[in-house]
Amino acid sequence: MTKAEPEEAAQGGGLALVSLLIGLATGGAVYGVIEVWGDTGRPGAVPATLMQIIVTLSAGWLLLAERGRMVRALLPAAIIAAVLAAPTWFFAAAAPAGDGDFEFDKFPVFFWGAVAAPLSFFLMVTLAKSVIETGAPPRYDRVFLHGLTLPLIGGGAQLFAGLSFVLLYAWAALLKQMNVDFFSKLFDEPWFILPFLGAIGGLSIAMIRGQQAVLGALRFLLLLFSRIAMPIMAVFSLTFLAALAANGPGAIFDRPYPGGIMIGLAFAGMLIFNGVYQNGEGGPPPWWLRLPTLVAIAAFPVYAGLAAWAFSMRVDQYGLTPARIVGLAMNGLAFAYSIVLIAGLLTELNWKGKRWMAPVARLNTAMAALWVVVLIGVSSPLFSSWTLSARSQERVLMTGKVAAKDFDFGYLRFRLGKPGAAALARIEAAAAGRADEADIRAGIARARAALSYWEYQNPELVTSQPEPELEPPAAAPPAGEPTPPGPMDLEFNPGDTAGDPGTEE
């Protein structure tokens, strides 16, 4: 435990009451947003962005705050919340209202909510906390410590809030079985449950921050896992490179998602390497760990290069999609980190140096900032993956790389929103006089006639319901024959019911 860690433990323990109150206010504010916009059907950009600002501002404030210096942490927390609000506003505002025609590609929205926004938040809080402690530029030992610790605190707070929620409902269910349903009804009320969860989350952040011994043990386990995994990663890398040399890259590119798999391997190696490298203040590790680390580093550019090759082939054949754009951005980050690792490898020429790969520490801090820029940039209004994808798909069709009869017109309409609709209009206008004009117009008409992307993809499964046939009017009886009584000719209260079995008692 470093000298600053006991201070952090005291700071976390001393903020318990303040954190509880901030969490309580956060839950109440979220309830207020839901109460105002909850009956509008689709919430829209304003409430979605407000809720994210409220949550990220509170969480960032509680993670950055120090006892006696609460106000100092408020400004960087507000800046972080404002930066994250722009992509959220963009995605929420772009979604169609009501029963709109467009079904937006779930990938960029899901990627932002599940990966880019949380990761950007923790990286920005890490950098801000390090700057508050050491000034700018931040020392890498503090960046590494907080980068490893803050996700543990945030994840632990979410875990405790979730467990409290489960226990609360289990208790209410037990009391309901005993004919006490007051608490069951109370816990179903948003005005109670949201502030409750906020208070538990805020209190959990403060209490976990105060448990530096537990956090230290968790950090030790993560770093120990990295040291164990590095030799395994090296053996895998050697085996992979040997198979690649023997069989060529075809076996990789013939599989689904080759670029994603290669990027996953590259980033797994990056995380394991940083677990071995740690805060950059120590000397070289023992030779049995040092040599596997060098092997894994040497394989890192190979993974990044294969991923770039796979993405370039897909884009050239089928054009850009939001998922491929994000994949290319991640591939760029992998190449950037290859430069960091090459800089570290160059220092290995001095095998007996006291510091191990000294340039990596400084470059890692810059890489953290670059990750934030790329993650937010690829999801921001300034870089619309829908617009880029729509224009790319249009170009693939109009240049003949994909035949019109095989082109996915439904993807433009249902997955790329207004940019896709604009591309369809441009394609329709440019189709006049082309040899494939009939196929283009038929494909556009089919896309516009479909009610959903699923219906467009499965036209053979969509059958129209036949209209019910009207019974032909009954033929008039021949002249002289009595006409059967109609409804208006029946008696409402027949007097004689004798002999009717339905009236026997």
Secondary structure of 137-201 as H, E, C letters? CCCHHHHHHHHHHHHHHHHHHHHHHHHHHHHHHHHHHHHHHCCCCHHHHHHCCHHHHHHHHHHHH
- Cβ atoms of 414 and 102 closer than 8 Å: yes
Task: State whether 203 and 225 are in the same domain.
Answer: no
- Cβ atoms of 256 and 197 closer than 8 Å: no
Task: State whether 247 and 333 are in the same domain.
Answer: yes
Compute the distance between CA of residue 160 and CA of residue 47 in angstroms, rounded to an integer: 26
- Cβ atoms of 4 and 10 closer than 8 Å: no
DSSP for residue 471:
P
Task: State whether 180 and 128 are in the same domain.
Answer: yes
Gyration radius (Cα) of the chain, Å: 32
Asked, for residue 59, whether it belongs to a domain, the answer is yes
Pull the structure tokens for residue 196.
Answer: 């409750």
Task: State whether 225 and 195 are in the same domain.
Answer: no
Q: Is 429 buried (19+), middle (13-18) or exposed (0-12) by CB count in 10 A?
A: exposed
Compute the distance between CA of residue 326 and CA of residue 265 in angstroms, rounded to an integer: 16
Task: State whether 78 and 156 are in the same domain.
Answer: yes
Q: For residue 497, what pLDDT is reported?
A: 42
Compute the distance between CA of residue 489 and CA of residue 482 in angstroms, rounded to an integer: 13
Q: What is the pTM of this model?
A: 0.84
Compute the distance between CA of residue 229 and CA of residue 225 in angstroms, rounded to an integer: 6
Compute the distance between CA of residue 281 and CA of residue 284 in angstroms, rounded to an integer: 10
* Domain termination residue (choose one: 368, 395, 410): 368
Asked, for residue 362, whether it belongs to a domain, the answer is yes
Q: For residue 127, what pLDDT is reported?
A: 96
Asked, for residue 117, whether it belongs to a domain, the answer is yes
Compute the distance between CA of residue 457 and CA of residue 243 in angstroms, rounded to an integer: 38
Task: State whether 46 and 157 are in the same domain.
Answer: yes
Pull the structure tokens for residue 276.
Answer: 């071995």
Q: How many CA atoms lie within 13 A of 4 on its CB side?
A: 10
Domain hosting residue 288, numbered range: 216-368
* Grouped pLDDT means (10 residues each) for the chain, 505 residues: 51 76 95 79 77 95 88 94 94 61 69 94 96 91 95 94 91 87 86 94 93 93 95 94 87 83 92 93 90 92 93 91 94 94 90 89 94 94 89 94 93 90 94 92 93 87 56 54 50 43 39
Task: State whether 203 and 221 are in the same domain.
Answer: no
Task: State whether 76 and 176 are in the same domain.
Answer: yes
Asked, for residue 296, whether it belongs to a domain, the answer is yes
Q: For residue 268, what pLDDT is reported?
A: 93
Compute the distance between CA of residue 339 and CA of residue 346 in angstroms, rounded to an integer: 11
Task: State whether 242 and 292 are in the same domain.
Answer: yes
Task: State whether 256 and 186 are in the same domain.
Answer: no
Task: State whether 96 and 228 are in the same domain.
Answer: no
Q: For residue 227, what pLDDT is reported?
A: 95
Please name which of 379, 432, 389 lies closest in space to residue 92, comparing C-alpha atoms.
379
DSSP sequence for 246-289: HH-THHHHTSSSHHHHHHHHHHHHHHHHHHHHTTS-S-PPPHHH
Asked, for residue 375, whether it belongs to a domain, the answer is no
Pull the structure tokens for residue 278.
Answer: 């740690």
Asked, for residue 223, whether it belongs to a domain, the answer is yes
Long-range contacts at 312-319 (CB < 8 A, ≥ 24 apart): 313/253, 314/259, 315/392, 316/401, 317/401, 318/396, 318/402, 319/389, 319/392, 319/393, 319/395, 319/396, 319/401, 319/402
Pull the structure tokens for residue 269.
Answer: 């190696």
Please name which of 200, 199, 204, 156 lies closest in space to residue 29, comparing C-alpha atoms.
199
Task: State whether 164 and 33 are in the same domain.
Answer: yes
Per the omega criterion (within 30 degrees of 0), is the bond before 151 cis? no
Please name which of 161, 166, 162, 133 lies closest in space to residue 149, comparing C-alpha atoms.
133
Q: For residue 482, what pLDDT is reported?
A: 55
CA diameter of the chain: 124
Asked, for residue 469, whether it belongs to a domain, the answer is no
Asked, for residue 373, whether it belongs to a domain, the answer is no
Pull the structure tokens for residue 252.
Answer: 């990789």
* Domain termination residue (choose one: 317, 336, 368): 368
Number of domains in the chain: 3
Cα 217 versus chain centre, distance: 29
Compute the distance between CA of residue 164 and CA of residue 182 in angstroms, rounded to an integer: 18
- Cβ atoms of 87 and 378 closer than 8 Å: no
Q: What are phi and psi of 100, to 5 degrees?
A: -65, 165
Alpha carbon separation from 310 to 60, 91, 331 (Å, rounded): 38, 28, 11
